[in-house]
Amino acid sequence: ESGPKELHIFFFPHLAHGHMIPTIDMARLFARQHSVKTTIICTPLNAPLVSKVIERDSQHGIEISVRIVKFPSIEAGLPEGCENLGSTTSPEMFNNFYKALGLLQQPLEQLLEECRPNCLVADVMFPWATEVASKFGIPRLIFHGTSYFAFCVFHSLRCYELLNTLSEFESFIVPGIPDQIKMTKSQQPSYFRGVDNELTKLTNLSVQSEQTSYGVLVNSFNELEPAYSEHYRKFIVKKAWSIGPVSLCNKDIEDKALRGNIASIAAYECLRWLEMKNPNSVLYICFGSKFVFPASQLLEIAKGLEAAGKHFIWVMKEEENINNQEKQEWLLEGFEKRVEGKGLIIKGWAPQALILDHNAIGGFMTHCGWNSVLESVTNGVPMITWPLYAEQFYNEKLVTDVLKIGVSIGAQECSRSIDARKFILKKEDIERYVNRLMVGEEAEEMRSKAKALKEMARKAVEEGGSSNSDLNALIQELRSL
Ligand code: UDP
């Protein structure tokens, strides 16, 4: 035999930034291995997210292809151009978006027929992909996009049916998991709170496909949540590979700047600003790729930041700047000028990987999307946790109660952005949390724990590290099939 058997792996991410970004990193991680070719499937409007990164990789001899499938917006009752979960602005659009995902089955089959890959890595949001893969006689791996911890809590609560017996704010201990974790029903994702929609249906189907698929890829590393990666493999899914943090495959500035398709010029400006600040002195504030706060909350955040007086970088999504005139005037003219030098406001997309990597960053106010949490850990940055919806409340618990590298703002019930508007955190509280995270003994303790995790993360992906070994073992297994 001459070299190892050539592998071709298909990656089919859910069409949301929080799923596409780690999937791209993951595909690159595989493609860097000897004799592995990867293809990422996406839709026309999501393609730019992938193409620049891939172009850069191809200059280094790494082979990643992109295949485009048409997104059935119109067929699913969505406006044309709505191809990313982030562009849905109402519960109805949100629902239709998940319907549209189901319509991608046929185009996927066509692509598989054409390209005949050896393996399909498809997002957990495509439960039917397991059957599709089996038609072609290839293994389907699930990509979750969240922590072991979150999935352990999720499965535990499904099994025990405990939630049905509780009222909204009654607290309970999550049964059957390694730690004593206290939660309330109001912190549960919408599908656990009786919301009947496409996402709930999909979630139920995805549990079944978790059992029937070949295995699960997890963007985490065993040392981060050892008890939970073990628990998951023992009780939930036998075959799981920890291959994260996948964001660590972005090594240089250009790599990190390109993540999420940001213009590198903005990234360099941001870096220049950070260069002038002391280590651990800047708070980074970002609530993920799509969440938009109401004006009243933005004002409280702005006042709280100003009162706390710490340096900060605050990312606002575009809609936040154009929705409401009062907010725009206050924020852009008054606030931005007053905090000049102290605070940098980024409108739209921020080079998060680059920012969190800078040693001037000393804290991250985050919505606890898994990618954000993991990127914070990877860079040794403690957090103010402000979960909004989905499994973010679980990730919060991992950060604050298990890892002890975060301060919780005590967020409660929300079910996606529309309802999340009910909860407004006041200026005084924001000021208090910022100070707790950035200065004092507790802050130092959290920071040193976070720095230790950063080292573990780096070791995990190095040659011989746990994630690197899992990746190699998986590739070997796939070759042997
Ligand atoms: N992100 C970024 N710039 C932004 C907002 C988000 O680079 O302005 C990236 C972030 O680094 C992360 C992903 O987008 O990789 C967001 O994923 P996460 O799971 O944190 O949250 P979601 O957007 O899915 O709620």
Residue 370 CB–ligand 1 contact under 6 Å: yes
The residues near 308 (Cβ < 8 Å, ≥ 6 apart) are 430, 431, 434, 435, 438
Q: Would residue 231 show up in a list of annotated catalytic residues for this protein?
A: no
User: Cα(203)–Cα(88) distance, rounded to whole angstroms?
Assistant: 19
Residue 372 Cα to ligand 1 middle (Å):
6
Residue 18 CB–ligand 1 contact under 6 Å: yes
Residue 344 C-alpha from the chain's centroid: 23
Residue 242 main-chain phi, psi, to 5 deg: -90, 120
From the alpha carbon of 22, which atom of ligand 1 is closest?
Answer: 15
CA distances from 316 to 240, 388, 425, 428, 432 (A): 36, 16, 17, 21, 21
Paired tokens of 22: 């780690």
Closest Cα to atom 5 of ligand 1:
289
Residue 435 main-chain phi, psi, to 5 deg: -65, -40
- One of 25, 57, 123, 470 is an active-site residue; which one? 123
Q: Would residue 123 show up in a list of annotated catalytic residues for this protein?
A: yes
Closest Cα to atom 15 of ligand 1:
371
Strand order in the sheet with 119-123: 64-68, 36-42, 7-12, 119-123, 140-143, 215-218, 240-242
DSSP 306: H
Instruction: Tabulate helix, strand, coil % of the chain (nearest 5).
Output: 50, 15, 35
From the alpha carbon of 86, which atom of ligand 1 is closest?
Answer: 23
Residue 260 CB–ligand 1 contact under 6 Å: yes
Residue 120 main-chain phi, psi, to 5 deg: -120, 115
User: Cα(265)–Cα(125) distance, rounded to whole angstroms?
Assistant: 34
From the alpha carbon of 21, which atom of ligand 1 is closest?
Answer: 15
Report pLDDT for 422. 64
Report pLDDT for 2. 62
Residue 126 CB–ligand 1 contact under 6 Å: no
Residue 277 CB–ligand 1 contact under 6 Å: no
Residue 128 CB–ligand 1 contact under 6 Å: no
Per-residue pLDDT of the chain (481 residues; tens, 9 = 90+): 467 788 999 999 999 999 999 999 999 999 999 899 999 999 999 999 898 888 888 888 888 999 999 999 999 999 999 999 988 988 899 999 999 999 999 999 999 999 999 999 999 999 999 999 999 999 999 998 999 999 999 999 988 878 888 888 889 999 999 999 999 988 988 888 878 889 999 999 999 999 999 999 999 999 999 999 999 999 999 899 999 999 999 888 888 888 876 666 678 889 999 999 999 999 999 999 888 888 888 889 999 999 999 999 999 886 644 455 565 666 666 888 889 889 999 888 899 999 999 999 999 999 999 999 999 999 999 999 999 988 999 999 999 999 999 999 988 754 444 444 567 899 999 999 999 999 999 999 999 999 999 999 999 999 999 999 999 999 999 999 9
Residue 379 CB–ligand 1 contact under 6 Å: no
- One of 19, 155, 231, 358 is an active-site residue; which one? 19
CA distances from 321 to 265, 292, 294, 300, 409 (A): 21, 10, 11, 15, 24
ipTM given for this complex? 0.99
Ligand 1 pocket test: pick from 146, 255, 286, 289 the residue with the most ligand atoms within 8 Å of its Cβ: 289
Residue 118 CB–ligand 1 contact under 6 Å: no
pTM: predicted TM-score of the whole model, two decimal places: 0.95
Residue 49 Cα to ligand 1 middle (Å):
13
Report pLDDT for 330. 63
CA distances from 141 to 211, 256, 399, 459 (A): 11, 27, 27, 25
CA distances from 166 to 179, 186, 192, 260, 478 (A): 21, 10, 12, 40, 45
